[in-house]
Structure 1
Amino acid sequence: MYTQSAVAADDRRRKRRRKTFGSVAAVLAVVVALGSVVLWAVNGSSSGSGSRKAADAPSRLDVRETVEKRPARATGALAFRFSADDLAPGEEHDMPGMWATDKILAKGINRTLLGFAIGTDSAAGDETWSIRFDGPICGTTKRVSVENRTAILFADSTAKGAPCDRVAFVDLDDGKTMWTETIAPARPSGTSGASDTYALQPPTVTLTRGTVVVTWGGGTDAYDMDGGKRLWRNESTDKCFHMGAGGGKALLIRLSCQDTSGPGGQAAYRVRKVDARTGHTVWTYAVAKNVTDVRLVSSDPVVVAVSAGDIGITDVLSLDEHGEYLATIRVQKGKYVAECVDEAEYFSVEDCPTIVVGDGQVFLRSAEQGDLVNNANWIVGFDLKTGRTVKKFDSGRDALLYPLRMSGDRLLALRESSDHISPMGLMSLDPATGTVTPYLYFDLPSEGWTLTAQTSNDIRVEDGRIFFGARTATGPKEKTWQWLVVGLESVARRAESLSIPKAGQGR
């Protein structure tokens, strides 16, 4: 994947990694066990084992929304590591996308999607499965179906400037490509020449129930998860261009329209809800004219983040089920952190890792208070109907809280140690009661500290584990191990998995 030496790594090096992996896990278990006693006490007796409201059993075609259970023991141990030691100084590789199931950690690297068995210390060549695409991966979505399948966009060749015009639907458990299709953009109706710039914008991909949705500037295509048949195509018309989609429980399309009434023909944005199986418009919401960017944070309930006359997200808006405006949550010039990822080569209008929506609220973290070491912040829940604050969760001394995702009606958050002495934690926050329940306490060696930054890395919580993965791999100035992905789990689960021999496992 990087060099031939990485693919054909010698046994001596692998044995050294495995010894290091085991010893680090053992040390962490002791350190975390001590730190967790001093640092936090369990606030309340909530097990976090499910939602307060009964939910219908999900269909295999639904987008996955797993509910995490509180581990038997909160002490954490290493569950997985993917690293490399053969990167030359300045050598750089794109690592788009990261997904986890109960047994596989999948990571994109350049034009390859690799699947690693969780519970291993891995380098290139140790993967359980791999999918090599015709060209570089050029679009991903964090969304996964109940069957552990997701969609990948890739270029049709490795040639420079090759179009990002292929979509694949892949099974993350066994590395099987279910189907691939070629996106064939058509020129938007009633447009020519000057509009080609919009029609050839970077495509995006997302999932909603039973459907893979791709936007490509000049329109939107929807494909059936079963078989890849194209269900419908909506082309851009009336100088409104399709510029990204948000999936999940519903489907939203972001439209960038030419506003001829304003000076210089400034673009105006619209958010459109579309029936994912038919392509029919349900409603359209016109965003204020002074907005320069719109991100689709949540499709149900509908929450969008906007940039109004400033660089970066300035406001978060909520809409009702009919597309009518409900409330505005203001970032207040940096008092709260609302950030979305904007990478030209892997563009996604729904990748806003610092904003979490659930239980009738939108959760934002505050700006950091204090210095680099003696730091603190809090997470605040804002009511979607009124925009008013509901609950506030303090990080505690020398720590920072980062909202990650919903787990049923509870919020999962990373508690990062700012002094790197006390352990980090995966916490469950209950907006209804204010209860904070520790799920995992763990530590990361210095090589993994940079992996916790939300907008430059992927952070996933799945099946009782938390994973941190780099979006790029860059060769260091001096030869050393580069930690690219690291995963943590409960020591109880780790001990159980180590005591059960796996089929074909000879290490």
Structure 2
Amino acid sequence: MSQPPSQQPPGGFGAPQDWEPEQQWEPPPAQPGAPPPAQSPPIPLTPPAQPGPYHQPAGPYQQQPGPYGEPASPYGEQYGRPGPYEQQPGPYGQQPGPYQQQPGPYDGYGPYDGYQGGGPQHPYPYPYAAPAVEEAAPAPIPPGGGFFKGRRALVVAVGVAALLTIGGGSYLVLGGDDAGAKDKKESAGGNGAPEPADSPSAGGSDGGESGGGAGKSGDLNAGRADGEAEIAFVTMNDVDLPRSGVDAFGPWLAGDTVVRAMYKQVVGYSVADGRKKWTLPVSTEVCSATLQPSAEGKIVIGVKDGLSEKAECLDLRMIDLKTGEVGWKKTLRTGEGFNSLTDFTLTISGNTLGAAGLGNSFGFSMTDGKQLFKGPVRGCKPFAFAGGPKLLAAAGCPTDDWNKPKQRLQEINAATGKAKWTYQAPEGWEIDKVFSVSPVVFSLKQSQEKKWGVVALNEDGTERSRIQGGKDKFQPRCGGTFVVLGENLEGCTGVAADQDTFYMATESAKPGGPNEVVAFDLDSGKAKWRSPSGGDSTIMPLRMEGGKVLAYRAPTWEKGGVLATIAPSGGAPKTLMKFQDATAQTESTFYSPRMVYDDGRFFIASGRVSARNDEEEMETRTMMAFTR
């Protein structure tokens, strides 16, 4: 570790204190000019609670909520399988940032407090009722200007004034730079950075512990009971990280390779034993990535355009997951003036990469990186995309009153950027999160009055229904990296959808306790059935799998987690994989975890990696793989 210890707690301790928001569900008024949906008025619904159901003992350091607070839960985003997409919102769901959220123009509004882009809950570690741990004082603020430096500080100074005029309704999110001392020494001036080699090296160390007995902890399956999944491997961090830790991206799957990106490298591991197949070094920090790969097994990462504090996340690299080879490079162009401060978020739809930030949006060919379209820079401007089988764009329109934002959701042609249909959100309501792109299911929020609701659309963009949640509290979770004046629409867990039904997890009655999955009819918006978690911990839908809901039930202190399916007709969850009780605590230590399941293999990986000192840094587990 090249810097002072991180403020983020290692492992699974130190979750934020639970508190009840005062927000209420109140579905938005009907779309202007549209007839009301053919169903009874929705029943009030309590919006997602903040910060979430898992209460854990305080750790040695005070928990730092991800600046993105989006629902990335104990369940994190669904990374990693190439298409086809199964009614899952695609890409981005990236990782939480290292610093505590700074207040923006919508300061302190309940379920959206500390959450860039609004919506459900903060990411934090898994829920198990661990023994009490004595709380220590938080780590000191790092020297050198603290959180407000360079470009981020400028955002603070001009943010509110600019939001009065831009009309995009995007949120101001503040945080600190992660640049370590080594980065500063390497940067002689400006943003210049050495050109990366962009050539992967083959093989290398195994990077961790194998299920067969290698590694410090010996045989990882020594305590495995009958019926429990086998641990294929556990990877360990082997990189000297900056002082505050780093975001980690992936895992992505491509054939017999599972890939992760972290700090200044992208690594492909064997799905069988975790040995490194290739390592791709990059000269600057990886700062963004697509959540899902393309059908051809390609992803796009964003890397900073320099090593200085002023470096921006503008340089793109397309990477072949099977070989680690870089296919093409592209540098994004920001807007002018205030719009130049934005970060871009990335998504894939078919053969198109969508990149959007405040003031600028683009579509690029995944084949060769050529620009396919550029979004409008005047009037209603897209600020975020959601990908998968369809490409959706959330756009902000000019307004004279920033308390009454004007936003719209559009399906756009992924090859041309032209809109196929437009859903105009009621005045004062903002596009929040896209839970599914096919069918289209998304949430709206009204920040000033602290309201939140879920809407389903027909194929032509007209309103299909508004979800009627009754008195339940719900907890969809979405995660993301630190984004300046942009927004991630996707990457939510705790939700899933098929063509007829929307599935959403309720908040547990007690932190980390059991909850339910509720199924809603997409034509009426009414609840059809409820499925209890079936254990002592919380269950969260991940996506659809073979016509059923794929869900993950979190581990407890003594019991391993469970991967289960729920039939579309309801009923109790059916166990697909039971993870080992003997390694429940290890399973619980992944911070803001990202998960992917494919063909009998389940991968869980940390969304952010940090530690208190050099020794712990190199003993930090970064990914765990199970097999049936």
For normalisation by structure 2, the TM-score amounts to 0.61
Q: Distance in 2 between matches of 1:217 and 1:364?
A: 30
- Alignment of 1:77 with 2:230, yes or no, is yes
Structure 2 match to 1:273 = 411
Structure 1 match to 2:248 = 95
172 and 331 in structure 1: CA distance in 2 versus 1, 3 angstrom threshold: farther
Q: Deviations over 1:130-186 (max 9, x none)?
A: 223343222222122222212212222222222222222211111122222222345
- Alignment of 1:27 with 2:227, yes or no, is no
SS of 1:446 mapped into structure 2: helix
Structure 2 match to 1:339 = 477
Q: CA deviation at 1:255?
A: 0.6
Q: Distance in 2 between matches of 1:89 and 1:205?
A: 24
Judge conservation of contact 1:96–1:471 (CA < 8 Å) in 2.
yes
One-letter amino acid of the counterpart of residue 378, structure 2: T
Q: CA deviation at 1:367?
A: 1.1
Q: CA deviation at 1:201?
A: 1.9
One-letter amino acid of the counterpart of residue 268, structure 2: G
Structure 1 match to 2:554 = 416
Task: Show the 5 A alignment for 1:251-400.
Answer: 251-260=391-400, 263-264=401-402, 266-309=404-447, 314-329=452-467, 335-345=473-483, 347-370=487-510, 375-400=513-538
Q: Distance in 2 between matches of 1:85 and 1:304?
A: 39
In structure 1, the gaps of 5 or more residues are: 37-74, 188-195, 491-507
Task: Show the 5 A alignment for 1:159-170.
Answer: 159-170=308-319
- Alignment of 1:431 with 2:568, yes or no, is yes
Q: Deviations over 1:84-128 (max 9, x none)?
A: 378799652221333123422211111321111223356xxxx32
Q: Distance in 2 between matches of 1:272 and 1:100?
A: 30
87 and 153 in structure 1: CA distance in 2 versus 1, 3 angstrom threshold: closer
Q: Distance in 1 between matches of 2:410 and 2:286?
A: 27
- Alignment of 1:130 with 2:279, yes or no, is yes
130 and 327 in structure 1: CA distance in 2 versus 1, 3 angstrom threshold: same
Task: Show the 5 A alignment for 1:133-152.
Answer: 133-152=282-301
Judge conservation of contact 2:495–2:503 (CA < 8 Å) in 1.
yes
397 and 178 in structure 1: CA distance in 2 versus 1, 3 angstrom threshold: same
272 and 359 in structure 1: CA distance in 2 versus 1, 3 angstrom threshold: closer
Judge conservation of contact 1:115–1:130 (CA < 8 Å) in 2.
yes
Q: Distance in 2 between matches of 1:129 and 1:26?
A: 29
Q: CA deviation at 1:290?
A: 2.7
Judge conservation of contact 1:87–1:474 (CA < 8 Å) in 2.
no
Judge conservation of contact 1:171–1:178 (CA < 8 Å) in 2.
yes
333 and 244 in structure 1: CA distance in 2 versus 1, 3 angstrom threshold: farther
Structure 2 match to 1:449 = 588
Q: Distance in 1 between matches of 2:242 and 2:423?
A: 49
Structure 2 match to 1:117 = 270
133 and 257 in structure 1: CA distance in 2 versus 1, 3 angstrom threshold: farther
Q: Distance in 1 between matches of 2:260 and 2:533?
A: 31
From 450, 463, 470, the equivalent of 2:606 is 470
Of the structure 1 ranges 295-304 and 80-89, higher mean CA displacement relative to structure 2 is found in: 80-89
84 and 306 in structure 1: CA distance in 2 versus 1, 3 angstrom threshold: same
Q: CA deviation at 1:243?
A: 1.0
Structure 2 match to 1:66 = none
Q: Distance in 1 between matches of 2:576 and 2:612?
A: 34
Structure 2 match to 1:230 = 371
One-letter amino acid of the counterpart of residue 81, structure 1: V
Greater helix fraction, Structure 1 or Structure 2 = 1
Q: Distance in 2 between matches of 1:383 and 1:300?
A: 15
Q: CA deviation at 1:324?
A: 0.8
Of the structure 1 ranges 463-472 and 132-141, higher mean CA displacement relative to structure 2 is found in: 132-141
From 305, 308, 321, the equivalent of 1:156 is 305
Q: Distance in 2 between matches of 1:413 and 1:256?
A: 34
SS of 1:235 mapped into structure 2: coil
Q: Distance in 2 between matches of 1:13 and 1:381?
A: 40
Q: CA deviation at 1:340?
A: 2.4
Q: Deviations over 1:348-405 (max 9, x none)?
A: 2212222222242221111113465xx3111111122211112322112413211111
Structure 1 match to 2:114 = none
Judge conservation of contact 1:18–1:121 (CA < 8 Å) in 2.
no
For normalisation by structure 1, the TM-score amounts to 0.75
Q: Distance in 1 between matches of 2:416 and 2:206?
A: 54
217 and 90 in structure 1: CA distance in 2 versus 1, 3 angstrom threshold: closer
Judge conservation of contact 2:344–2:483 (CA < 8 Å) in 1.
no
Judge conservation of contact 1:104–1:116 (CA < 8 Å) in 2.
yes
How many residue pairs get matched? 423
Structure 2 match to 1:58 = none
SS of 2:382 mapped into structure 1: strand
SS of 1:97 mapped into structure 2: strand
Task: Show the 5 A alignment for 1:459-498.
Answer: 459-476=595-612, 479-480=615-616, 481-490=619-628
SS of 2:477 mapped into structure 1: coil
SS of 1:314 mapped into structure 2: strand
SS of 1:23 mapped into structure 2: coil
Q: Distance in 2 between matches of 1:241 and 1:289?
A: 16
Q: Deviations over 1:211-233 (max 9, x none)?
A: 11111322321122222222221
235 and 409 in structure 1: CA distance in 2 versus 1, 3 angstrom threshold: same
SS of 1:337 mapped into structure 2: coil
Judge conservation of contact 2:433–2:490 (CA < 8 Å) in 1.
yes
Judge conservation of contact 2:533–2:553 (CA < 8 Å) in 1.
yes
Calculate percent identity across the aligned residue pairs: 21
Q: CA deviation at 1:341?
A: 2.4
Q: Distance in 2 between matches of 1:11 and 1:106?
A: 14
Cα RMSD, aligned residues only: 3.3
Q: Distance in 2 between matches of 1:220 and 1:10?
A: 40
SS of 1:152 mapped into structure 2: strand
Judge conservation of contact 2:552–2:564 (CA < 8 Å) in 1.
yes
One-letter amino acid of the counterpart of residue 169, structure 1: M
From 199, 207, 219, the equivalent of 2:360 is 219
Q: Distance in 2 between matches of 1:181 and 1:278?
A: 19
SS of 1:147 mapped into structure 2: coil
One-letter amino acid of the counterpart of residue 603, structure 2: F
Judge conservation of contact 1:331–1:338 (CA < 8 Å) in 2.
no
One-letter amino acid of the counterpart of residue 154, structure 1: V
